[in-house]
Amino acid sequence: MTDAKNTQIFLKKRPDHIPEPQHFDIREVDMPVPQAGEALCKIHYLSLDPYMRGQISGRHITGTVHEGDTLLGQTIGEVIESKHDDYKIGDMLCFHGGWQSHAICNGTQTSLVDPRIQPASLALGILGMPGLTAYAGLLDLGEPKKGDVLVVSAATGGVGSMVGQIGRIYGCRVIGIAGSAEKCQWAVEQAGFAACIDYHKENVAERIDALCPDGVDIYFDNVGGDILEAVIWRLAVGARVVLCGLMAQYNDDKLPPGPNPGAIIKARATVRGLVVYDHVHRQADFVSDVLDWLADGSIAYKEDVAEGLAQAPESFCRLMRGNNFGKTIIKL
Amino acid sequence: MTDAKNTQIFLKKRPDHIPEPQHFDIREVDMPVPQAGEALCKIHYLSLDPYMRGQISGRHITGTVHEGDTLLGQTIGEVIESKHDDYKIGDMLCFHGGWQSHAICNGTQTSLVDPRIQPASLALGILGMPGLTAYAGLLDLGEPKKGDVLVVSAATGGVGSMVGQIGRIYGCRVIGIAGSAEKCQWAVEQAGFAACIDYHKENVAERIDALCPDGVDIYFDNVGGDILEAVIWRLAVGARVVLCGLMAQYNDDKLPPGPNPGAIIKARATVRGLVVYDHVHRQADFVSDVLDWLADGSIAYKEDVAEGLAQAPESFCRLMRGNNFGKTIIKL
């Protein structure tokens, strides 16, 4: 036994709308002890993602976080004690460790972090679940072809920034939608988008009309709400829509309605729902391609890193307000 | 020249909601004279279809009917005078002749009625556009597999009745949704559906839950509105939704919202918009298969026939009220 403690962030009170830091709290508990088939990891990086709001609301397929529960989340952890045959001390694992300083890993949904991935935090971003979401969602569901007009919302986020850049590599003309002039500038200057619409300052429908006179061939939607409504009426015939995220409604208790289905008929569009866990068979292709693109400079990335587990509530709330810029990461 | 007159039904006043017969009127005009490349046809059958309401509202891709215009519609006509090289007197043509006793056919979107099709009115129904809509929509967009649970709304209409029966032939368990006990009885007893829900008398959501405990694999939607909302939250993972018609909103000036996109993500569903004109390349397969199914008794059909062009307004209004039963046809 050791006197060392494990620090956790837990849900203190379920928020009704946009979460605030006071909905969360921090606690120390006894250090967990690995049993046979388990490894104890010290967490180095925690990923904060919009889907976590759905877990708090009890409507996400990956599970529900109740009041009093430690928050869930993907992490990069270093093995410090192992009773698991596959993991040895010093290994870096990507697994669902949650919002805490230490976590037990039993091998479920776990991968060794490819040593080519530097810094390891990228395994939570462009080389992790958000990257795979973008890669499989765009390539397998969006079916990009050279010359397609691709529109992506939350365009500088963990998923959106990769969607746009992979689309560009595949020959699409990429239009982003993001929430500040700074984000739009990054999308165009660093990520190579053809244009980026600032939805706080510009009328999205009018800008899409102006930028996409022949309509939108692929819409990769990370937000739902008014932006989905604006884009879906501007699809080209035969368009594909990938529904990935619903940021516009994660903070609402009641589900708002969606677009009239006539928009889909009008465009003879194909609309597909994306859940990344259906696409893990694409992991090897994905890592190989993205490492190549990183190496040859085809892909830019931006991380929004805060240091210290205690920063996680504020960082997550900032993400929920749309004030993050890049993939949100906590470095422990 | 001849003194014979052509009788037409025209739009007298655009309806705001469900059309009434007084929104239409009848008139006699001079008999049209075919020019080079045209044939004059005597109309024998006129098809009445829900999409016509969209033409009256000015939001259908096939064209707009303004006040004073003769209504548009697909017809079977017999050539009585021909200056078109391909058509001779006595030929039966399927073409867009409109709501009138005689029409000029210039060969646009025209086909000779296959002489195996008896009565020729079937070329407007199960062997015509509604049948092709069902055939291509279900087989190419719905991707039926043996054992799939297929739900179809407007289940005894021109499209829905064929969707359900083709699904049954392909090994699906078919659940219909229709608007009367008589229609539901026909769907089960004549068309071989496993069950049929009377949406006027039963709670569609509860009945789907009871009849489809593992969810709906294919939903072929002819209505939109509350029925789409009920079914889309009950999809199985990997479900396909074919959006074909929006009967629930054709009579509304303002487009209502649709289902929350979260339903599509939850089921990782594929939702496709169907416009039959994209699928004319399937015509030969379609006619061949349906003639075989008719010959071997696999397919039942029901026509709702009224005699005389003057009956067209009342028949169409009845269709718009959901009081038709079977494919609505006017026999001239």
Residue-wise pLDDT tens digits, B251-270: 777 889 999 999 999 999 99
Q: What is the pLDDT of residues A242-293, one digit of tens each?
A: 999 988 887 777 889 999 999 999 999 999 999 999 999 999 999 999 999 9
pLDDT given for residue B146 in this prediction: 98
- Residue B86 DSSP label: T
Specify the pTM.
0.92
- Residue A113 DSSP label: P
User: What confidence tier does A2 reach under pLDDT thresholds 50, 70, 90?
Assistant: low
CA nearest neighbour of A249 among A274, A225, A217, A222:
A225
pLDDT given for residue B255 in this prediction: 87
Q: What is the mean pLDDT of residues A131-141?
A: 98
Q: What is the mean pLDDT of residues A116-136?
A: 95
Q: What is the Cα–Cα distance from A43 to A57, expressed in whole angstroms?
A: 26
Buried b / exposed e along B42-65 (16+ C-beta atoms within 10 A): ebbbbbbbbbbbbbbbeebeeeeb
**Average pLDDT, rounded, for chain B:** 95
Four-residue CA torsion sign, B55, B61, B63, B67: positive
Residue reference for tokens 């003639």: B291
Tell me the sheet residues that pair with B8.
B27, B100
Kindly identify which residue of chain A lies nearest to residue B254, measuring between CA atoms: A260
> Is residue B242 within 8 Å of B142, Cβ to Cβ?
yes
A-to-B residue pairs, Cβ atoms closer than 8 angstroms:
94
Q: What is the Cα–Cα distance from B307 to B25, expressed in whole angstroms?
A: 17
Q: What is the mean pLDDT of residues A187-196?
A: 98
pLDDT given for residue A157 in this prediction: 92
Q: What is the Cα–Cα distance from B250 to B322, expressed in whole angstroms?
A: 12
B253 contact A CB<8A: no
Which residues from A are below 8 Å from B133, CB to CB? Answer: none
B254 contact A CB<8A: no
pLDDT given for residue B247 in this prediction: 83
Burial of residue B83 (CB within 10 Å: 0-12, 13-18, 19+) is middle
3-state SS of A293-313?
Answer: HHHCCCCCCCEEEEECHHHHH
Best residue in B243, B253, B277, B280 for a mutation probing chain A (most A CBs within 10 Å) = B243
> Is residue A267 within 8 Å of A239, Cβ to Cβ?
yes
pLDDT, greater one: B11 or B63: B11
Q: What is the pLDDT of residues B179-214, one digit of tens each?
A: 999 999 999 999 999 999 999 999 999 999 999 999
User: What confidence tier does A237 reach under pLDDT thresholds 50, 70, 90?
Assistant: very high
CA nearest neighbour of B159 among B171, B173, B180, B142:
B142
Alpha carbon of B173: minimum distance to chain A alpha carbons (Å): 24
A259 contact B CB<8A: yes
pLDDT at B1 over 70: no
**Average pLDDT, rounded, for chain A:** 95
Best residue in B271, B276, B277, B279 for a mutation probing chain A (most A CBs within 10 Å) = B271
pLDDT given for residue B42 in this prediction: 98
Ramachandran sector of residue A16 (left: φ over 0; alpha: ψ -120 to 50; beta: rest): alpha
Alpha carbon of A244: minimum distance to chain B alpha carbons (Å): 7
Contact A265 B273 (CB under 8 A): yes
Kindly identify which residue of chain B lies nearest to residue A271, measuring between CA atoms: B271
Q: What is the mean pLDDT of residues A220-240?
A: 97
Residue B205 CB partners (closer than 8 Å, separation 6+)? B230, B233, B234
Buried b / exposed e along B252-281 (16+ C-beta atoms within 10 A): eeebeebbbbbbbbbbbbbbbbbbbeebee
Q: Please count the CA atoms within 13 angstroms of the CA of A194 that sit on its side-chain side.
A: 18
Dihedral, CA atoms, A86, A99, A309, A101, nearest 10 degrees?
-40
Contact B246 A261 (CB under 8 A): yes
Kindly identify which residue of chain A lies nearest to residue B278, measuring between CA atoms: A268
B243 contact A CB<8A: yes
A 151-210 residues with CB < 8 A to B: none
Q: What is the Cα–Cα distance from A84 to B166, expressed in whole angstroms?
A: 54
pLDDT given for residue A189 in this prediction: 98
A261 contact B CB<8A: yes
Alpha carbon of A129: minimum distance to chain B alpha carbons (Å): 17
Contact A243 B264 (CB under 8 A): yes
User: What confidence tier does A155 reach under pLDDT thresholds 50, 70, 90?
Assistant: very high
